Amino acid sequence: MSVPPPPEPIMGARLLFSLDPAVSHLNHGSFGAVPIVAQRAQQRLRDEMEADPLRFFTQGLVDRITHTRRHLAGFLGADPDGTALTTNATTGVAVVLQSLGLRPGDEVLTTDHGYGAVEFSVRRECRRTGATHRVLPVPLAATDEEVVQIVRSGLRPGRTRLLVVDQLTSGTARLFPVAAIVGVAREHGVSVLVDAAHAPGMLPATVQSIGADFWVGNLHKWGYAPRGTAVLVVAPPWRTRIEPLVVSWEQDAGFPGQLEWQATMDYTAWLSAPAGLYTLRSLGVDRVRAHNAALAAYGQRVVGDALGVPPTGLPDPGGPTVAMRVIPLPAGLATTIDAARALRARIAERLAVQVAVNAFDGRGWLRLCGQVYNSPDEYERLAVRLPTLLAQR
């Protein structure tokens, strides 16, 4: 079966970024890439801050943060009064976990697709409180109905206090039916935290339509914001129970102000985040989503074909705007976290290509992303050179 043609490029989009042209950046999902307009907006804010630090931090900064929060919440379809800016999704998860008041006998349930740092945070909080952490295995090829049934069967009413589930998994690039999962959990009286690290900017679903108790998402990936920009959205019943990881001068303001004010933190990433969204909107949000998803799918087929993987062996993420795809690596390669990291570094060093490599279910997986600054020939060059590198074990 022939590989379908790549999407038409978005002309001029590559010039909006300052990426090294000598490197193929096929891993937007890890750390993103900040458009030049957002970089300059942040630098202007830093210049303002350094010109008069006392004025910057004491005259109107809280109001500027509030204005930014409302702008970002509007883009995400979230309640601004239930949205707090934070530095990344992992920090938001930690805030939720330490605000739950877990006790011995309680349980936190995750899936085996969960992000590593989130899993670390869950384990630590369970060790600290005496709660239990349990992991649900979910086959990569499971249908949405099967995923919902696995979750339904895994819930333990009266014991499971929190279910943590990814909206789009990082390591396996799988879209989960989070709205349906939230509905099932609610039937059983279980709270849900949706880890939506990759959702803002990529996925069209609004936060309110999902209905989770907690939702965390990064703007510094697919939303083009400077790094260190994320949001934690909290349902009304929980807002008075949320506590920041560090108490500072806005503690008496309650949520979300108490969570956002962290003394002398550099707030310029947050304040310049709307400039990133401006870039996305200028290119056309729907246009960018469709282009990126189609380009990632093209890259998956081209590289998969070079590695001898038939189309039926390439996982479908399950959504028309998912701009990340995974490809199974030859058996025995990158089957552990350390081996996956080593292979990623070798690909970067030898081929000048940035990709993600993850281990899942005893196998290594190559993850490719599609972004407006990428071109089809970058995936084609990787397809030509990668087999030889993988053969040099």
Q: Which of 138, 103, 108, 112 is nearest to 122 (CA)?
A: 108
Packing angle of the helix pair 337-351, 376-391 (nearest 10 deg): 120
Q: What is the rounded distance in angstroms from the CA atom of residue 35 to the CA atom of residue 17?
A: 5
* φ/ψ (deg, to 5) at 367: -110, 125
Task: Give SS3 for 79.
Answer: coil
Q: Which of 381, 379, 368 is nearest to 328 (CA)?
A: 368
pTM for the full predicted model = 0.96
The b/e string for 181-208 (b: 16+ C-beta within 10 A; e otherwise) is bbebbeeeebbbbbbbbbbbbbbebebb
Q: What is the rounded distance in angstroms from the CA atom of residue 4 to the CA atom of residue 208?
A: 36
Place of tokens 């990426």: 19
Task: Give SS3 for 223.
Answer: coil
Q: Which of 333, 302, 301 is nearest to 315 (CA)?
A: 301
Tens digit of each residue's pLDDT, the chain (393 residues): 567 789 999 999 999 999 999 999 999 999 999 999 999 999 999 999 999 999 999 999 999 999 999 999 999 999 999 999 999 999 999 999 999 999 999 999 999 999 999 999 999 999 999 999 999 999 999 999 999 999 999 999 999 999 999 999 999 999 999 999 999 999 999 999 999 999 999 999 899 999 999 999 999 999 999 999 999 999 999 999 999 998 998 889 899 999 999 888 999 999 999 999 999 999 999 999 999 999 999 999 999 999 999 999 999 999 999 999 999 999 999 999 999 999 999 999 999 999 999 999 999 999 999 999 999 999 999 999 999 999 997
Domains of the chain, start order: 13-33+285-391 (3.90.1150.10), 38-277 (3.40.640.10)
